[in-house]
Structure 1
């Protein structure tokens, strides 16, 4: 706030900054989740990080696709409120040709036609603008002039500053993100590379992102399988989610998309983080399992079993579990001998289980 003399009104800012025990505040609207973990809320910003070729943009494409349909893509579940359904996507690194590929991938993941621009998605490429300050001003102008925006993607936040190791520039840029998200009640998802030699985000901007972001997602190549990318939370204010993985599915139209890797098994979690015994009744479990094996002539492999459980339990309970929770459910069912493995290591139903 400024006075007529263009001086900051410190008294007004001081009064605005005070928090009193009698004040009432509401929880910021949650717009992005993985399972029950909160990835993004309106009024905050998050980041996706990863080394070169880790498939960061593929991961962000899934986030945008989920927001576009206000539903689930991969493990991301979006729920943008009415009046906040527009998405701005700024790419600072790629040519218009490759930006169009990203746009097509988003639409394909969302199950939308590729020959019609969706009303709620605005895609901008800023690579040809040489001045980082001008790029930043274009983003600011779009955020403040376009109504109904709920989610903003900045794929290449490093390109909004001249020197990623300049502490002043980094602090100023992060201050902009905090101001924009707060004043416009939006969520901004940024993308930043990790250092080649370690898993630290690059430069002072990386340090500031880690300190101020609501969530920092990390996309890494599986060292045991270079075709698999693993998504985890290197920092999250919410409770953490279990890692999940995706592979790139080669499509005949050359618009390749990420697909959930059902065979990936994250590290074993402690028993206290397993599936809750009291969450469902015996009858609900039995209904779901009978549905799984209704037309199954033989058992299932691990990936098939997880996917089958996910669909059947969604039918019975009305809730679609995330991949991490379904894997915990499978462990629970095996421990209760509701599902057993035969000699061929296939998962089969044991209808005589004791609950």
Structure 2
């Protein structure tokens, strides 16, 4: 394996290199402005190239600014990729702390520092020396021994976690004391040595020695261990007292960082940036006197940022005081999540009281009342994204929602015909399924819950399924309850499988208020990312072609991963489901599905797909509408201009736009003049 391939293997195929050198936050597959020049339009994105099997950057506005992670690292540092290639590789290895050796003649510092050390195959040596500095040090790295791996294993920490955080076993550590006297310490089976590396600084950890910590190099003022390993977004971030605690939490699937010690003051600037990425920041310090005192002090200093504190049920003695000890004593990830759930339940006492009054009690139906026709819809999408369902009254949206929810109540996937033509991912782990309704009466929602159970062949409501009636709450309280109950149910059930918000427009005062519309869609998108779930937004609008109306419709069109529209078919006994937006390809290429009422089944059933002729007619009509709009202010457009308009208006990729241009030429929707420019074709002029 060559060096370039080794670097890709260590950096998630180059994605971590883009994340390290990119001066702005980005999300793969989502457009942003290119930081390499004054880019006025967000027409650049990071994607995984299946041909080269690595992440690449694509700039649709300027092809010259496209390339792989090595090209980007060179460009952002002002280096020439051809002339400085080995320098770029060395820079990446140093900056990302990768345990990858370069060829001997390219690693000049290494050859100097190792001059007096005899070669030994299992040991690699790194050194850092500054003239006249007391921070000089040299370490001799070695492979992990069985007893050393056994030490980490007590806390649930395996080799993958050690490699991810660049924790090394060292055979020898050389440095100078504060008085300038050189010394050397060797590792042994009784006193092993490990080091945490952060660029030009190392912290040596000797768990069984009298002097447990030694330092070498120049420590950065903003020392934060584990920061580079954090995801872009998440639910909970723990701040612990030491590096071993960070490793133990990470090994048990929690996000964690630590500063140099529990007594170190946490910079407010770091807390501010982390709050943009995580829902909760929780101090998880030792349960001894120092840890309890510092946790209380830090909480008070950071009170403006609502930093929380979790105290472990440990005695506070030497062998039982921190999260590493907690796991070493046999406690599990599930038990820690139980402690989190209990802590949040105390915080959300008022919300729990509201939940009890809002949740449908299926065994105790409410008094009969007049039924009100509500706006119902069924979004369908992927984890971490929004999906939207839209349509008018009387189109069968309530039953469509019931069919989608039915597919989430079992452990195995139901046949597509059972869920009205959709393939719904089952829920074998019993994660939370949440259905919020803002418009229907309590009696109607109880009736709909019965239909959902009937379709799923269930007699009782599963513990993880919560159908919540919000119509009686104020708009402000509705959003508050949704936000806080998602957090509660996420921890109670170990995650959220699906969320349905039936009547998203009723969370704000007006669906045509731009500020409110942007804010509510952004908040729901943020929640979908934090809890890694799909949020289905039901919008009561009749769409105009492939576009949604109103400001809230425009925001959903931009942010949602997909949009479905339910309309009455030409045959009034059927409803037809059309795709207005899909993640990959074009919605016009997705089949139109039919469903209708079946008396024998006492429910709506799947009626197949519309014919190929109907599909082609819809495709032609929609493309004619897009072309007429495109040429509203111009009689002629170049190929590139037309391609960009189609990509923007239809939310499709470049290859799909080019395919549609060829199709529209063939169907006489577009015409081309002698200069190669495009204009409206015969079908658009009739």
Taking structure 2 as the reference length, the TM-score comes to 0.32
Corresponding position of 1:175: 522
Contact 2:498 2:533 in 1 (8 A): yes
What secondary structure, in the 3-state scheme, does the structure 2 residue paired with 1:78 have? coil
What secondary structure, in the 3-state scheme, does the structure 1 residue paired with 2:499 have? strand
1:122 equivalent among 466, 470, 480: 466
2:577 equivalent among 212, 231, 234: 231
Alpha-carbon deviation of 1:249?
2.4
Alpha-carbon deviation of 1:250?
3.4
Corresponding position of 1:190: 537
Pairing of 1:246-325 with structure 2 (within 5 A): 246-250=595-599, 256-262=602-608, 265=611, 267=613
Q: Aligned in 2, Cα 1:199/1:88: closer, same or farther, shift over 3 Å?
A: same
**Counterpart Cα distance in 2 of 1:220 and 1:208:** 22
**Counterpart Cα distance in 2 of 1:53 and 1:18:** 41
Contact 2:547 2:557 in 1 (8 A): no
Q: Deviations over 1:20-74 (max 9, x none)?
A: 85599x9xxxxxxxxxxx9411100101100111111211111111122252322
Aligned CA-pair RMSD = 3.1
**Counterpart Cα distance in 2 of 1:268 and 1:196:** 19
**Counterpart Cα distance in 1 of 2:608 and 2:512:** 39
Alpha-carbon deviation of 1:117?
1.5
Corresponding position of 1:17: 25
Contact 2:592 2:609 in 1 (8 A): no
Alpha-carbon deviation of 1:198?
7.3
Q: Aligned in 2, Cα 1:206/1:269: closer, same or farther, shift over 3 Å?
A: closer
What secondary structure, in the 3-state scheme, does the structure 2 residue paired with 1:117 have? coil
Corresponding position of 2:387: 46
Q: Aligned in 2, Cα 1:117/1:16: closer, same or farther, shift over 3 Å?
A: farther
What secondary structure, in the 3-state scheme, does the structure 2 residue paired with 1:226 have? coil
Corresponding position of 2:447: 101
What secondary structure, in the 3-state scheme, does the structure 1 residue paired with 2:389 have? strand
Corresponding position of 2:182: none
Instruction: Tell me whether 1:137 sits opposite 2:480 in the alignment.
Output: yes
What secondary structure, in the 3-state scheme, does the structure 1 residue paired with 2:472 have? coil
Q: Structure 1 unaligned runs (5+)?
A: 1-11, 27-37, 271-355
What secondary structure, in the 3-state scheme, does the structure 2 residue paired with 1:206 have? helix
**Counterpart Cα distance in 1 of 2:554 and 2:576:** 22
Corresponding position of 1:71: 413
Q: Which has the greater radius of gyration? A: 2
What secondary structure, in the 3-state scheme, does the structure 1 residue paired with 2:387 have? strand
Alpha-carbon deviation of 1:200?
4.9
Alpha-carbon deviation of 1:85?
3.0
2:505 equivalent among 154, 158, 161: 158
**Counterpart Cα distance in 1 of 2:606 and 2:551:** 33
Instruction: Tell me whether 1:89 sits opposite 2:89 in the alignment.
Output: no
Q: Aligned in 2, Cα 1:190/1:262: closer, same or farther, shift over 3 Å?
A: same
What secondary structure, in the 3-state scheme, does the structure 2 residue paired with 1:77 have? coil
**Counterpart Cα distance in 1 of 2:505 and 2:559:** 16
Instruction: Tell me whether 1:146 sits opposite 2:154 in the alignment.
Output: no
**Counterpart Cα distance in 2 of 1:206 and 1:84:** 32
Q: Aligned in 2, Cα 1:118/1:132: closer, same or farther, shift over 3 Å?
A: same
Q: Aligned in 2, Cα 1:238/1:199: closer, same or farther, shift over 3 Å?
A: closer
Alpha-carbon deviation of 1:16?
7.5
**Counterpart Cα distance in 1 of 2:479 and 2:562:** 22
Alpha-carbon deviation of 1:108?
1.4
**Counterpart Cα distance in 2 of 1:183 and 1:46:** 16
Q: Aligned in 2, Cα 1:178/1:101: closer, same or farther, shift over 3 Å?
A: same
Corresponding position of 1:58: 399
Taking structure 1 as the reference length, the TM-score comes to 0.61
Corresponding position of 1:313: none
**Counterpart Cα distance in 1 of 2:543 and 2:563:** 18
What secondary structure, in the 3-state scheme, does the structure 1 residue paired with 2:557 have? helix
Q: Structure 2 unaligned runs (5+)?
A: 1-19, 28-45, 47-54, 56-68, 70-95, 97-228, 232-378, 617-686
